[in-house]
Structure 1
Amino acid sequence: MKCINCGTDNNLRDRTANSGHCTRCNHQFAFEPTAMTQGIKFTDPFFAKLLNDISVNKTLYFTPKQLLYFLDKRLKYKKISVAGIGCILLLLFFNVWTTLFFGGFLYVLLGGGSIIIVPIVLNLGVLIWLFNQSRSKKLTYQDRQNTAKSLLILTGFLLVVGLSISLSLNLFPLLVASTIIGMLFIYLAIRQLRNKKSIAQEFLISLSQVQDWLRKWQTINGSFEKILSPSFAATQPVQINPEILNYSFDRVIVCQSTEIARFLIANNFHFENNCAVLSVTRYPENIFDVVLEMLRRNRDLKVYALHNANSRGVTLVNHLRTQDNWFADSSATIYDIGLSPRQVLDNPKLFVQQSDTMAREAKELPQEIRQTLLPEEINWLEAGYFVELESFSPQHLLRIVTQGIILSRQENDLIFVEDNSLYMVQSFG
């Protein structure tokens, strides 16, 4: 493992002999891959590159949960991928070895066609494993598709080999077994490849683990200023120039969560796009009431609702339109630039999660909200599925929100929702 301080390569013996420090500059290593558990292993250079990549060379702020998603994706990518040609060669080797060794042993004991039992059991076990991997919640959509492709290639290869051997040696049981198993798994592989529906994913790691690793990293290497503290609150009083109160904003983004609002503000989205940024949780607390008062003063105000694809997110626009403490009886135009279930249904590559709590909340959605949703969206929500905005990298999310505002000015990219002041942007990302 290379030292991030001086670049010296230290092997395990060097790191052990020097108590986890670099042999050249004595800089301490934050992580020891050989001591990590649960199949998760990474090095200091890996983590340093991770922080550099998510912050785009330390130019963008990001939330702890964005780091969780980003790291989880990198760790899944690091896992051994199932490659078709590699699996064929490896399986061919094990078939020959096990057939000669264990098959020969069975032939001596039982005689006859017992030698074919070993390759049938071995290959069937591999195909079942591949099929289960193609449905695994621990893999990304692309990994599941790659696994299904490998399953199809391997099944076709084994079917040809099995039929050739059974016909040449006149082994009718092997012919029947090869045909049945081959056709079954070819069907299953093709079905998985055609399955474009999103499947709930699971993390390889937890947010608490990420926070522990980050604390350890910062203790040794110093604070990483682009990570947003989860405990931060904008509660310090702010002196506002009275003259500013005479002005207003033409646009405001209202976020479902404090984290997203803070993320946008930290990255100067409000300055670069000339708009206010608030959350329904009243962030930033110290100027929330003043900014909202200024917004209500603008009769041509454009409001952009930014939310997750979940049971709470789909109610945000209605909440802004009907609540007196927001824009009830206002002439403001409201655009939904958030992530909707219908957009998720069309994009299986998104990180979809599932929660019993979300399912219960979805079943309690009022009728006025259900009328704005498609039947498949309601079914998706009531199954407890959801997608968080923080699953997008900082750079990607900023680009998506900017794109949403731009598309809101183009009628062809809008869906009419309720009245002439309420629209939903079709595209997300």
Structure 2
Amino acid sequence: MKCINCGTDNNLKDRTANNGRCKQCNHPFAFEPTTMGNVKITDPMFSKILADISGNNTLYFTPKQLLYFLDSRIRKKGFQTAGFLGTYLFLNIWVTGFVGGITSAFLPNSFLVANLLYQAATIFYLFNNTKSSKLTTASRKVSAKNLRFLGIIILVVGILASLFVFNSFPLFSSVVILGMLSIFLGTRQLGKGVNLPQEFLVTQSYVDGWLKTWQQINGKIDKVLPAPQEQIAPASINPDVTAYSFDRLVVCDSANIAQLLIANNFHFENNCAVLSVNGYPQSIFETTMEMLRRNPNLQVFALHDCSPKGVSLVHRLRTSENWFLNSAVKIIDVGLLPRQILANKRGMFVQNVAALAKKSTELPLEVRQTLSNEELAWLDAGNFVELESFSPQMLIKVLRSGISGSLNLESDDSSMILIGDSGNDIYMVESFG
């Protein structure tokens, strides 16, 4: 492992002999991958993750975004085609020779039986990978493709061997069944591996602990955001400022996302106010709302998790006296919406909680009527996706794209879909990223 302070490569013997410090500059290592179990983190890897998520230390991020980002990097080290092929060929020979040799004393055709059992076990392993919550969508797709590839190998090699080497019909039948089964399962799972529920490989408490250790050794990370603080007392704002308004308002369903956007100066760079639906930042909430209500051409952008609470955000903005009840303001639902997730072929980090299934079925009728049957089935199953599963760069890009697309809402070329009645217009962004 290389030292991030001086770049010297230290092997395990070096690190152990120097009590976890660099042999060259004596700088402590924050991680020792050999003691971390299945999830192995190195100092250079963690340093690269911090640089990437912050855009080389230019963007603020939340601890939960770091959890998702780190988890994604770990998963990307999962199943790859080249690694599978080499391992498959090696074990194909080794298992056949080892198991077949042991059983040859009492099992006729032991080497053939051992090889067929190995092919069946490999098919079972790959099939389980296509459904695994521990792998990324990309890795599950690779497993499905490898299932089809394996099926072709079994058919070609197996049929030739059964006809011209062993002249055996039972062997011919076995390899055809295994090969066709592998191809069938791979083809079927290739279309099912997108947006399946996933589980974290690490927990937030682990990441928080790693952050604490890292900062003790390498100094404070300025771009990681603390939990949003409630400031009840109204802030003092210059009357000259309050005389103006904003052209746009971004409403988030969580204070964490609102804080993230504000910390990254999204409001300044895009001439918009940023608030959370629960009133963050509390110190300027009422004053900001007074300013916003003075603009008859105000556009409101809703940014939320894909969850029962999230998809009801627009409905709350339309029906709450604290927001825009009896107002003709245009509201653009940027997302996340179930249809955006279902249409995304690259896959998102979908989670599943049984308690959310009940909350979904209890959504107001007005909300459920805006969703398709497929979307409702997805939500009613307890699925959800959090905005914090996306990097700061991605969230800012998506929101900017939504604002840009709102400039021609009435045009036939608009990327927005009208889902409200005339005079009560609600628009939806078709895709999220």
TM-score w.r.t. length of structure 1: 0.95
Letter in 2 for 1:426: E
Which residue of 2 is the match for residue 10 of structure 1?
10
Which residue of 2 is the match for residue 352 of structure 1?
350
Q: What secondary structure sits across from 1:240 in the alignment?
A: coil
Letter in 2 for 1:401: L
Which of 381, 385, 393 aligns to 1:395? It is: 393
- RMSD across aligned positions (CA): 1.7
Which residue of 2 is the match for residue 425 of structure 1?
429
The CA deviation string for residues 21-71 of structure 1, in whole angstroms up to 9 with x for no partner, is 11222111111111112x011211111111011101100001111111110
Query: For the Cα contact (< 8 Å) 1:34–1:41, is it kept in 2?
Result: yes
Pick closer, same or farther for the CA change 1:25–1:300 going to 2, 3 Å: same
Query: For the Cα contact (< 8 Å) 2:96–2:118, is it kept in 1?
Result: no
Pick closer, same or farther for the CA change 1:298–1:94 going to 2, 3 Å: closer
Letter in 2 for 1:14: D
Which is further off, 147-156 or 92-101?
A: 92-101
Which is further off, 57-66 or 91-100?
A: 91-100
Pick closer, same or farther for the CA change 1:59–1:236 going to 2, 3 Å: farther
Which residue of 1 is the match for residue 131 of structure 2?
135
Pick closer, same or farther for the CA change 1:300–1:86 going to 2, 3 Å: closer
Query: For the Cα contact (< 8 Å) 2:350–2:383, is it kept in 1?
Result: yes
| Displacement of 1:389 | 1.2
Alignment of 1:369-408 (within 5 A): 369-408=367-406
Alignment of 1:246-285 (within 5 A): 246-285=243-282
Which residue of 1 is the match for residue 417 of structure 2?
415
Query: For the Cα contact (< 8 Å) 2:228–2:255, is it kept in 1?
Result: no
TM-score w.r.t. length of structure 2: 0.94
The CA deviation string for residues 102-132 of structure 1, in whole angstroms up to 9 with x for no partner, is 3244333233x34321111111111110111
CA distance in 2, matches of 1:93, 1:48: 35
Q: What secondary structure sits across from 1:254 in the alignment?
A: strand
Pick closer, same or farther for the CA change 1:108–1:423 going to 2, 3 Å: same
Which residue of 2 is the match for residue 174 of structure 1?
171
| Displacement of 1:371 | 1.1
The CA deviation string for residues 265-307 of structure 1, in whole angstroms up to 9 with x for no partner, is 0000000000100001210011111111211222222111111
Which residue of 2 is the match for residue 54 of structure 1?
53
Alignment of 1:67-216 (within 5 A): 67-79=66-78, 81-83=79-81, 86-111=83-108, 113-167=109-163, 168-195=165-192, 197-216=194-213
| Displacement of 1:235 | 4.9
Structure 2: which 5+ residue stretches go unaligned? none
Letter in 2 for 1:417: I
Query: For the Cα contact (< 8 Å) 1:257–1:279, is it kept in 2?
Result: yes
CA distance in 2, matches of 1:196, 1:215: 36
| Displacement of 1:237 | 4.8
| Displacement of 1:165 | 1.7
| Displacement of 1:250 | 1.8
Pick closer, same or farther for the CA change 1:110–1:319 going to 2, 3 Å: closer
Which residue of 2 is the match for residue 366 of structure 1?
364
| Displacement of 1:89 | 4.3
Query: For the Cα contact (< 8 Å) 2:150–2:179, is it kept in 1?
Result: no
Query: For the Cα contact (< 8 Å) 1:148–1:189, is it kept in 2?
Result: yes
CA distance in 2, matches of 1:326, 1:70: 34
| Displacement of 1:2 | 1.2
Letter in 1 for 2:415: D
CA distance in 1, matches of 2:297, 2:212: 46
Letter in 1 for 2:42: T
Query: For the Cα contact (< 8 Å) 2:250–2:272, is it kept in 1?
Result: yes
| Displacement of 1:196 | 6.4
Which residue of 2 is the match for residue 319 of structure 1?
316
Which is further off, 46-55 or 168-177?
A: 168-177
CA distance in 1, matches of 2:102, 2:12: 42
Which residue of 2 is the match for residue 243 of structure 1?
240
Identity of aligned residues (%): 52
CA distance in 2, matches of 1:334, 1:284: 21
Q: What secondary structure sits across from 1:334 in the alignment?
A: strand
How many residues are matched?
Answer: 425
The CA deviation string for residues 137-193 of structure 1, in whole angstroms up to 9 with x for no partner, is 111111111111111111210222222222221223222211111111110001112
Q: What secondary structure sits across from 1:408 in the alignment?
A: helix
Which is further off, 136-145 or 226-235?
A: 226-235
CA distance in 1, matches of 2:373, 2:401: 27
Which is further off, 224-233 or 270-279?
A: 224-233
Query: For the Cα contact (< 8 Å) 1:33–1:41, is it kept in 2?
Result: yes
